[in-house]
Amino acid sequence: MRGLRGRLRILAGIVILVAIVVAILDPQAAFNAVQLPLFALFSTTRMVLAYLLSLVFAITFGATAATNKRAAVIMLPLLDVLQSVPILGFFPAALVFFVVTFQGSPVGIELAVTFLIFTSMAWNMAFGVYESLTTIPVDLEAAAASFGLRGMLRFRLLALPAAIPKLVYNSILSWSNGWFFLVASETFTAFGGTYTRPGLGSFITNAGIAGDATGIALGIGVLAAVVLALDTFVWRPLGVWSERFRMETTGHEVPRAPSPYERFRWLPRFPRLRRTFRTAIQPVVTKYHRASVRLDRTYSAHPQVLRDIRYVDLAMFVAILALVVVVGVLGLARLFLSRLPDAAAELPRAAASSFIRLGLAYGIALAWTIPMAAWIGRSPRGSRYITPVLEVAASLPATALLPIIVGFALIVTASLGPAAELSAILIALFSMQWYLLFNLIAGVRGIPEDLEEAARSFGLRGRAYWRRVLLPAMVPSLLTGSITAWGAGWNALIVSEYIPFLSPPPHVSGLGYLLDIATFRKPLPDNEMILLTILTMIVIVLAMNKLLWRPLYKRAAVKYRVEV
């Protein structure tokens, strides 16, 4: 072991020497190289902050909705809407709010960025907590009650552990979402100026503006490294650990969603480094444990205080909710009572062209992901080489790939018009395709062995095999993937239909474009148009969810479910 450490020390020395030489020869490159890790740190810090906020929110919201039936009546539909609405649509509004409140100071922009990432992380986590808490087996609840578990003790021993598997699972999804929005929000042009916060996202975007190919590659490379490192050292260990909290009675889980901590299996696992890390955080964990026991004591000693706190909590929630509802209703009423702005006439056409664009991207995604999933899912040898490539590509948010996609579109098509159209479709494709691919792979892998063997023994091959085994088995996961993919697609619209950092800015007609114009390209944000555009999106998304996906899903769940 000492040999390795010695060699590492020599290596570090060489790296430092090379770095000094490079710094003397090319100060600019050295500056970039020093900057990048720092930028990565800034971006990751933003993500961590937003994540901690989401975690607190998810646990309180989910626990309240699960335990308070009256509150749940309002909270669940609210969550349903928030979860299915294109979050990026709120970004302009949030930005205006924070930038105006803090008069353009960096604090306001940081808050806006953190808030945006929060909105992309929080909802599915809250749903996860709610679902876990409402599906705790009856007997376990009864055992907790009959052995006298109450308050903090019940939370620590029953509720929190029960929520952990879904919380970890959803956290991984939330981090993928978060990177997408982080990159989209670290730099933006508005109110006649460009606001930039130092970070990986802004680094990539700025490199894109400058046409600096090395910079783009470096930025994306570092981003990929950060994502992979977090997965290796945080999410996969957490995923393994969370298995301990899974209930033994495996319910019929439809759909067979892919487990996100299954990815990156090919990466080295660094057991020693991990153990060191675990020993390092052990004191903190112990301290937390002791503190929570002490809190239990204080907590259960004053039931009256507790009840008061709960009432204040509830009152605050009701007050805030009432405020939001009243303001919203008043705003809507004013909007529809007065004459609609002229620009509103463009809404139907914009909605249609956005929809067609997403449909096209969805079609392209289906065309390649179905055969690819069928191949990867059934050929372990082939997948060993292709899976790492796909997983790294999928771990990069589409927003980070924006400069590459736009550049590619500019090279392929000569004039700006079709280039803008092509890049918009490509960005939507990159946002949508991975959800389809990995869900479909999970669907194919989920085909029970004996079903496969039965098919083989009856000589099912070629088209018959596809029609009778493969495609039906894919249907549930295809639907799950489609719902998520379309959600991501609507978000992509907002970054893809108007690309402000090129001049002249290429754009295509669509809802994302309208939203962008209404928010940023006028001296003052056009509130009416912002609201109308977001409303149009919400209506379309909810209509698709309720009228298309959910009915299809219900039928598929009955017909195509494979009993395991």
Partner 1 sequence: MEAPLLEVKDVTKSYFENGKEFKVLDLIRFELAERDFVCVVGPSGCGKSTLLRIIVGLEPPTSGQVLFEGSPIRADNPQVAMVFQSFALFPWLTVTQNVELGLEAQGISPEDRHGRARKFIDAVGLTGFENAFPRELSGGMKQRVGLARALAIEPLLLCMDEPFSSLDPLTAQNLRDEILQLWANPDLPPKAVLMVTHSIEEAVYLADRVIVLSSRPGHMVAELEIDLPRPRNRKEPEFYGWIDEIYSLIV
Query: If binding is defined by CB under 8 A, does position 153 make contact with partner 1?
Result: yes
Task: Give CA–CA dist 449/467, Å, rounded.
Answer: 18
Stretch that binds partner 1, among 98-106, 142-150, 209-217, 324-332 (CB under 8 A): 142-150
User: What is the sign, positive or negative, of the torsion defined by CA atoms of 366, 367, 370, 373?
Assistant: negative
- Piece of the chain touching partner 1 by CB under 8 A; list 134-142, 272-280, 366-374, 451-459: 134-142
Q: Which of 7, 275, 289, 297 touches partner 1 by CB under 8 A?
A: 297
Segment contacting partner 1 by CB under 8 A, of 135-143, 512-520, 528-536, 539-547: 135-143
- Cβ(233)–Cβ(277) below 8 Å: yes
Q: Does 148 bind partner 1 (CB under 8 A)?
A: yes
Please say whether the beta carbons of 489 and 358 come within 8 A.
yes
In the bound complex, what is the minimum distance in angstroms from residue 386's beta carbon to partner 1? 35
Show the tokens assigned to 35: 């900057």
- In the range 156-195, which residues lie near partner 1 by CB under 8 A? 157-158, 161, 164
**Residue for token digits 């079709």?**
418
Burial pattern 270-309, b for ≥16 Cβ within 10 A else e, equals: eeeeeeeeeeeeeeeeeeeeeeeeeebeebeeeeeebeee
Calculate the alpha carbon distances from 30 to 20, 23, 86, 129, 363 in Å.
9, 5, 40, 46, 44
Report if residue 244 touches partner 1, rule: CB under 8 A. Answer: yes
Question: Are 260 and 116 a contacting pair, CB within 8 Å?
Answer: no
- In the region spanning residues 246 to 285, those forming contacts with partner 1, defined by CB under 8 A, are 246-249
Which residue stretch of 2-10, 145-153, 356-364, 435-443 sits at the interface with partner 1 (rule: CB under 8 A)? 145-153
Region of 70-78, 104-112, 150-158, 474-482 interacting with partner 1 (CB under 8 A): 150-158
Q: Are 299 and 149 in contact (CB under 8 A)?
A: no
Phi, psi of 189 (to 5 degrees): -105, 125
Q: Which is nearer to partner 1, 292 or 413 (CB)?
A: 292
Single residue of 29, 140, 320, 539 touching partner 1 by CB under 8 A: 140
Instruction: Give the three-state DSSP class for 526.
Output: coil
Residue 142 interacts with partner 1 (CB under 8 A): yes or no: yes
Cα separation, 507 vs 510, in Å, equals 9
Does 146 help bind partner 1 (rule: CB under 8 A)?
Answer: yes
Determine the size of the site formed for partner 1 (CB under 8 A): 24
Q: How far is the CB of 160 from partner 1 (least distance, A)?
A: 9
Segment interacting with partner 1 (CB under 8 A) among 8-16, 106-114, 137-145, 447-455: 137-145
- Smallest gap from residue 244 Cβ to partner 1 (A): 6
Element (H, E) at 190: strand 187-190
Residue 542 CB, shortest distance to partner 1, in Å, is 30
Which residue in 309, 99, 283 sits closest to 190, CA to CA? 99
Q: Which is nearer to partner 1, 146 or 304 (CB)?
A: 146
Give, in order, the Cα–Cα distances in Å from 233 to each of 168, 236, 276, 384: 14, 7, 11, 22
Asked if 238 is part of the footprint of partner 1 (rule: CB under 8 A), the reply reads no
Pick from 38, 52, 56, 143 the residue near partner 1 by CB under 8 A: 143
148 vs 271, beta carbon nearer partner 1: 148
Positions in 33-92 near partner 1 (CB under 8 A): none
Is there binding between residue 245 and partner 1 (CB under 8 A)? yes
Give the residue from 285, 272, 260, 58 showing the smallest Cα distance to 176. 260
Cα dihedral 244, 247, 251, 254, rounded to 10, equals: -40
Pick the stretch among 25-33, 91-99, 242-250, 482-490 that binds partner 1 (CB under 8 A): 242-250
Please report, as ranges, the residues that interact with partner 1 according to CB under 8 A. Answer: 137, 139-140, 142-143, 145-150, 153, 157-158, 161, 164, 244-249, 297, 300
